[in-house]
Structure 1
Amino acid sequence: MKKILLFIYDSFAEFEIVLFTTALNQEEFQLVTFSTKPAGETVTGVSSMSYVPTLTIEDIDVNEFEALVIPGGTTHPLLTHQPLQAIIRAFYDQHKTIAAICGGPALLGAAGILQEITFTASLTPDDHEYNDVMHWDNKLEQMLVVDRQVITATGSNYVQFAEEVLRRIGSVPEDEQNPLQYFREPSMN
């Protein structure tokens, strides 16, 4: 069984990753959550729901995972967290899939990745607390950007984000155009 690592933290935007987690083939993939908090402490998402991460950051062995997913939220308090930066950078250096949405790409910037790739995010230079890490010259005004093994998206583009991540990790066929069509258009089914 392949393992996918999901970073959760106080203020993370659950809606940006819920389609991905719902559509993930549970027979083939195991989703493992982690945070920077001590073992047993809860994380509160933007919805005010609480979650207990599976692992602490100290428990992570990057070699056990196929991909890293980083939802958006208020990431600026985490920009100087060295162990988190090291994990993100290890995924990148090992050419593993990294997917970050909305404000999540700021953590890629803190790990020194955004200076090497093109990306998108739901952040602008007006978000001053992120300016030291964002490398705005590499930001494309697109809703979804894939550069090397890194997938980035704007927060409102969570359907296409989920589809691209599912394709990249092999949970759906690469040539399947709209694997989450059910969520794109309301129907009576």
Structure 2
Amino acid sequence: MKKLLLFLYDSFAEFEVITLVTALKRTDYTLVTFSTKPKGEAVTALSTLCYLPARSVQDIDVDEFAALVIPGGAPHPFLHAQKLIQVIRSFYEQNKLIAAICGGPSLLGAAAILNEIAYTASIEPSDLEYEHVMNWENKRNERLVIDKNVITATGSNYLDFAEEVLRRLGGVEPEDKNPLQYFREPSMS
């Protein structure tokens, strides 16, 4: 069984990953959520909806997972969460897929990954709480950037982000140019 790991935290922007999570149902991947809180303690998303992660970061064995997804929101309180940063760095060093959107790439910066790849994010140099982890020289002014085993996207590009993650996971046919059409254009079905 293939597993995808999704980081949940207080203030995470679930709209940036909910389409991906929904589309994963069509794949052979199982979604496992985790947070930095103790197991059994809920996180409150940006929308104020509460989620109960399946695991604590303390219980994560990177070898168990094929990919890691990091949503945006306001992740700056976690930039020094050493166990979380170790998990992120381990995914990168093992050449496993990492996908981060909006503010999520700041956690890649905390893991020193942004020094090694080109990326995009919905963070600017004026966002002072992130300045010590971001490598602005490697940031691209693009909606979606893929470098090595890392996918990054700006927050409003969550559909392109979801499609690219699905492609990398083998969840859509490579020739399918618009696999999430249902979410892009309203229809009567």
Tell me if TM exceeds 0.5: yes
Match of residue 12 from structure 1: 12
Determine the C-alpha separation between the residues in 1 that align with 2:132 and 2:140: 18
- TM-score, length-scaled by structure 1: 0.98
CA contact (8 A) 2:26 2:171 kept: no
Match of residue 51 from structure 1: 51
CA contact (8 A) 2:97 2:149 kept: yes
Task: Give the Å deviation of 1:186.
Answer: 1.4
Determine the C-alpha separation between the residues in 1 that align with 2:106 and 2:146: 16
- 2:133 maps to 1:133: yes
Task: Give the Å deviation of 1:75.
Answer: 0.7
Percent identity of the aligned residues? 62
Task: Give the Å deviation of 1:25.
Answer: 3.3
What is the DSSP-based 3-state SS (H/G/I as helix, E as strand, rest coil) of the residue aligned with 1:175?
Answer: coil
- 2:87 maps to 1:81: no
Amino acid of the structure 2 residue aligned with 1:10:
D
Matched positions, count: 189
- 2:116 maps to 1:108: no
Task: Give the Å deviation of 1:54.
Answer: 0.4
Match of residue 153 from structure 1: 153
Amino acid of the structure 1 residue aligned with 2:179:
P
- TM-score, length-scaled by structure 2: 0.98
Point out where structure 1 has 5 or more consecutive residues left out of the alignment. none
Task: Give the Å deviation of 1:176.
Answer: 1.4
Amino acid of the structure 2 residue aligned with 1:149:
N
Pairwise CA RMSD of aligned residues? Answer: 0.9
Task: Give the Å deviation of 1:173.
Answer: 1.6
Point out where structure 2 has 5 or more consecutive residues left out of the alignment. none
- 2:178 maps to 1:178: yes
Determine the C-alpha separation between the residues in 2 that align with 1:87 and 1:78: 13
Moved over 6 A (4+): none
Match of residue 39 from structure 1: 39
Amino acid of the structure 2 residue aligned with 1:77:
P
Structure 1 residues 26 and 53: CA distance shift in structure 2, 3 A: farther
What is the DSSP-based 3-state SS (H/G/I as helix, E as strand, rest coil) of the residue aligned with 2:46?
Answer: coil
Structure 1 residues 27 and 113: CA distance shift in structure 2, 3 A: closer
